[in-house]
Amino acid sequence: MDITFVKIGGSVITDIEKPNSARIDVIDRILSEIARSRSSSRLLIGHGSGSFAHVPAHKYKVNQGLIDGNSMKGAAITQNVAARLHRIILDRCNENGIEALSFAPSSSAVSNKGRIETWNIAPIIEAMNRGFLPVTYGDVVMDSKQGVAIASTEEVFRYLAMHLMPKRIIIGTDVDGVYTSDPKKDPDAKLIEAINESNIAHIIKESARGSTKIDVTGGMKGKVSNLYSIAMETGAECFIVNANVTGNLYKAISGKECKGTKISK
Amino acid sequence: MDITFVKIGGSVITDIEKPNSARIDVIDRILSEIARSRSSSRLLIGHGSGSFAHVPAHKYKVNQGLIDGNSMKGAAITQNVAARLHRIILDRCNENGIEALSFAPSSSAVSNKGRIETWNIAPIIEAMNRGFLPVTYGDVVMDSKQGVAIASTEEVFRYLAMHLMPKRIIIGTDVDGVYTSDPKKDPDAKLIEAINESNIAHIIKESARGSTKIDVTGGMKGKVSNLYSIAMETGAECFIVNANVTGNLYKAISGKECKGTKISK
């Protein structure tokens, strides 16, 4: 059976305005969509950190590594806070009767300047083969060059995709996909339904220039670039969909028609 | 600098009579002893599960693997409950200013009938080299033969000792060490201060017979046998001490005189 990776964005499952607040009702609704679609493919779930780890990660500049006397403390705190949201997800899986197992990148992976280099993924493969739902997340990992680094869920998916060759990668965010400009500011903003070799260069170029024409800002810009790399390297079809819209994740995982942006090679 | 492994027994840090109750005051006191003794050697901490994971582990017979329709659910619940106590320990480390990082065996190791076979310990080595305190624990791991298995803290230490070659392994329990008979029942019970090649055969033989002369019952019997194996294979000196007595762990870690049982080759 095909493998599908599903990311649940941190901005979906936490209240971004309020540190350390998980949206339990949203998590439960998303888990029920995931449970419903498990028969269509073998799933691996990853989730972001939202208002949990992003706060200390930013404060202690964890992505830069061990740079000063507070860096070790910052790494320890950030790893712990990321794990706290992760445990909430696992708690909800158990409460909802989903046989999920946790796989923390920090326990098994080592990166090189934030790019994962070694990771024993044998337990994840064994878990998938036995029918468990593996759940991983963006995490603070040990780094051979800078001491510690942040491995985002996208980076975690990149490494896992190279080894597990998923057919589809679904990225559940709080927007409908990639737009030609910021839909919150520009009434003429249009959803880009497909990104592939025919338009990726244009999109990256426009956003690199800071053009308002194609507003692939911040997180979304990095996502598009990362997902296109994964698509190129593994052949996976990647979909950015709005996980705040009930049913979207179910449809996307099941291969049904769903509003969003498809990124493929 | 020499490496020392320290186990904090589940019966010390939890209330064994009451499911899922951590003894926060004891955890804090033990962490302060560990913090005080960090200058004497490079430490790695492991902890048991006490009244957390032992309850579902027993109920679902997790140590036997995937044996019936409830086994996957049982493995998922047990792994999650073990992680819950683990997060409490990490929370307390952070609260007490200890730069600790979590290493979950379930995220990285695969066992064969409960004996760990593969584990990427590169992140643990990296963490120790950078001065972090690695914290691991007895966990539910994927098993290549029986699906899932329990890797006790002793089994985790056995695997890690083969690769990290610690000089000393300190086992903090709720008793003073190994006795010639049950000290709670027999006023003539004597503490065995040293177990090595001169008496190990006698001790194992007597306890195997179920003799009351040498009462290495239950968990303690397994501990002695496991620790003697580790001592034989790695040359590590193992000490069983009473972690409920304030100062004992500090003394044992620092290599000072401390009541207890020394197990060596």
One digit per residue, the tens of pLDDT, for chain B of length 265 reads 899 999 999 999 999 899 999 999 999 999 999 999 998 899 999 999 999 998 999 999 999 999 999 999 999 999 999 999 999 999 999 999 999 999 999 999 999 999 999 999 999 999 999 999 999 999 999 999 999 999 999 999 999 999 999 999 999 999 999 988 877 788 888 999 999 999 998 888 877 555 555 555 456 778 898 999 999 999 999 999 999 999 999 999 999 999 999 999 9
pLDDT at B217: 46
For residue A257, the tally of other CB atoms under 10 A from its CB is 7
CA dihedral B22, B24, B30, B35 (to 10 degrees): 120
Min Cα separation B105/chain A (Å) = 7
CA dihedral A144, A148, A154, A160 (to 10 degrees): 40
Average pLDDT in the A166-193 region?
90
Residue B129, judged by CB atoms within 10 A of its CB (0-12, 13-18, 19+), counts as: exposed
The CATH number of the domain holding residue A96 is 3.40.1160.10
Closest to B48 in 3D by CA, of B94, B88, B77, B1: B88
Contact (Cβ atoms closer than 8 angstroms) between residue B7 and residue B171: yes
Task: Report whether pLDDT(A217) > 50.
Answer: no
Cβ contacts of A75 on chain B, cutoff 8 Å: 99, 101, 132
Cβ contacts of B149 on chain A, cutoff 8 Å: none
> Of the candidates B90, B126, B142, which has its C-beta nearest A144's C-beta?
B126
Cβ contacts of B97 on chain A, cutoff 8 Å: 73
Could you tell me the two tokens for A114? 């934030």
pLDDT at B206: 77
Could you tell me the two tokens for A247? 């049913």
From residue A192, alpha-carbon distances to A85, A102, A140, A180, A262 in Å are 32, 34, 33, 7, 8
A50 CB contacts (<8 Å, ≥6 apart)? A9, A10, A11, A12, A13, A14, A15, A16, A85
Please, which residues bridge with residue B148 across strands?
B142
pLDDT at B91: 98
* B99 dihedral zone (left: phi>0; alpha: psi -120 to 50; beta): beta
Task: Report whether pLDDT(A215) > 60.
Answer: no
Min Cα separation A195/chain B (Å) = 34
Contact (Cβ atoms closer than 8 angstroms) between residue B9 and residue B72: no
CA nearest to A128 within chain B? B142
Average pLDDT in the A28-44 region?
95
DSSP A14: B
Model ipTM over 0.85: yes
CA distance A134 to A125: 9
pTM value is: 0.94
pLDDT at B92: 98
Min Cα separation A144/chain B (Å) = 7
CA distance B207 to B224: 11
Could you tell me the two tokens for B232? 């034989």
pLDDT at A184: 78
Mean pLDDT of chain A: 93
Cβ contacts of A134 on chain B, cutoff 8 Å: none
CA distance A73 to B94: 8
Domain count, chain A: 1
CB contact under 8 A, B87 and A80: yes
Residue whose entry in the numeric block shows the structure tokens 């990082």: B101
Q: What SS3 class is residue A189? A: coil
Closest to A133 in 3D by CA, of A171, A103, A172: A103
pLDDT at B219: 67
pLDDT at A214: 58
In tens, the pLDDT along A137-172 reads 999 999 999 999 999 999 999 999 999 999 999 999
Range of the domain at A45: 3-263
Look at strands A42-47 and A3-8 and give their pairing: parallel
pLDDT at A204: 82
Residue whose entry in the numeric block shows the structure tokens 């598009």: A224
Tell me how far the alpha carbon of residue A73 is from its chain's centroid.
25
Contact (Cβ atoms closer than 8 angstroms) between residue B206 and residue B138: no
